[in-house]
């Protein structure tokens, strides 16, 4: 997986997609800071996920952003997405590989060196670590520290995606400590003060 230092954002979709979303997404991508876009819709029907996914896939293609599906390998295959992201309770990576072949598969490893090592051994394309900060997007079950990030970076060259409450005041510290990508959702989509385009501009 190629790492572009300037494109350090791993953007996760809002939980609800409204009509203005596609225009906002286009403007956000125009800033050339996003490497990945993950579609994460927990409550939509399969049909709706496919319709939304098709639209987003076109926008991702236009801006050379990798399009990933959260949790569901079957939807990733159906949409011919660039890959999928799997939590510890989702399908295991070996089975997922059989279904989608050489596509990107990322694995959530929380704050565990052991899980990180297993994911690396199973040839995950990236590992997601966190949460590094409090987050409004998800309840925090696992807390990760900068020391933990350093520890994982010493044992593997597999790219690391840092997650959890990342915003303009705490993102630099993660990049300085060698996180390859920063997963961001709430700061872009549910920001009370800034529109998505303004929010992304604060992450330089």
pLDDT single digits (tens) 158-168: 999 999 999 99
DSSP 148: H
Partners of 10 in the β-ladder: 36, 183
110-145 tens-digit pLDDT: 999 999 999 999 999 999 999 999 887 777 889 999
Question: From CA 196, how far away is CA 49, in angstroms rounded?
Answer: 22
Q: What is the pLDDT of residue 35?
A: 98
**pLDDT-above-90 percentage for the chain:** 93
- The predicted structure's pLDDT at residue 136: 75
189, 40 contact by CB (below 8 A): no
Neighbours of 188 (CB within 10 A): 25
Of residues 108, 173, 111, the one with CA closest to residue 145: 111
DSSP per-residue string spanning 75-97: HHHHHT-SEEEE-TTS--HHHHH
**pLDDT for residue 141:** 86
User: Is residue 2 very low, low, confident or very high in pLDDT (cuts 50, 70, 90)?
Assistant: confident
pLDDT attached to residue 67? 98
What is the per-residue pLDDT across 80-110, written as a single tens digit (0 to 9) for each? Answer: 999 999 999 999 999 999 999 999 999 999 9
Domains of the chain, residue spans: 9-201
Pair 21, 185: CB distance under 8 Å: no
What pLDDT, on a 0 to 100 scale, did the predictor assign at position 3? 76
CATH architecture, domain defined by 9-201: Alpha-Beta Barrel (3.20)
Q: Strands of the chain (E only): list them.
A: 9-12, 34-39, 66-70, 83-86, 104-110, 126-130, 160-163, 181-184
Q: Determine the pLDDT at residue 5.
A: 77
Q: What are phi and psi for residue 35, nearest 5 degrees?
A: -95, -40
pLDDT reported for residue 38: 98
User: What pLDDT is attached to residue 113?
Assistant: 97
3-state SS assignment for residue 20: coil
Rounded distance between C-alpha atoms, residue 46 and residue 78, angstroms: 11
pLDDT digits (tens, 9 = 90+) for 3-50: 777 899 999 999 999 999 999 999 999 999 999 999 999 899 999 999
């Amino acid at each position: 997986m190629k790492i572009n230092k300037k494109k350090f954002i791993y953007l996760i979709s809002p939980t609800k997609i409204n009509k203005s979303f596609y225009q906002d997404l286009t403007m956000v991508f125009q800033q050339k800071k996003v490497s990945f876009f993950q579609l994460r819709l927990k409550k939509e029907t399969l049909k709706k996920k496919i319709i939304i996914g098709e639209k987003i896939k076109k926008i991702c293609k236009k801006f050379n952003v990798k399009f990933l599906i959260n949790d569901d390998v079957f939807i990733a295959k159906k949409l011919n997405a660039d890959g999928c992201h799997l939590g510890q309770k989702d399908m295991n990576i070996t089975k997922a590989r059989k279904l989608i072949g050489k596509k990107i598969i990322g694995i959530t490893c929380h704050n565990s060196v052991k899980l990180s090592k297993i994911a690396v051994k199973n040839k995950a394309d990236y590992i997601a670590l966190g949460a590094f900060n409090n987050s409004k997007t998800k309840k925090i079950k696992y807390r990760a520290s900068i020391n933990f990030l350093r520890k994982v970076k010493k044992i593997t060259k597999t790219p690391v995606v840092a997650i959890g409450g990342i915003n303009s005041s705490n993102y630099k510290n993660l990049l300085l400590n060698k996180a390859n990508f920063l997963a961001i959702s709430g700061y872009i989509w549910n920001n009370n003060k800034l529109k998505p385009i303004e929010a992304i501009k604060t992450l330089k």
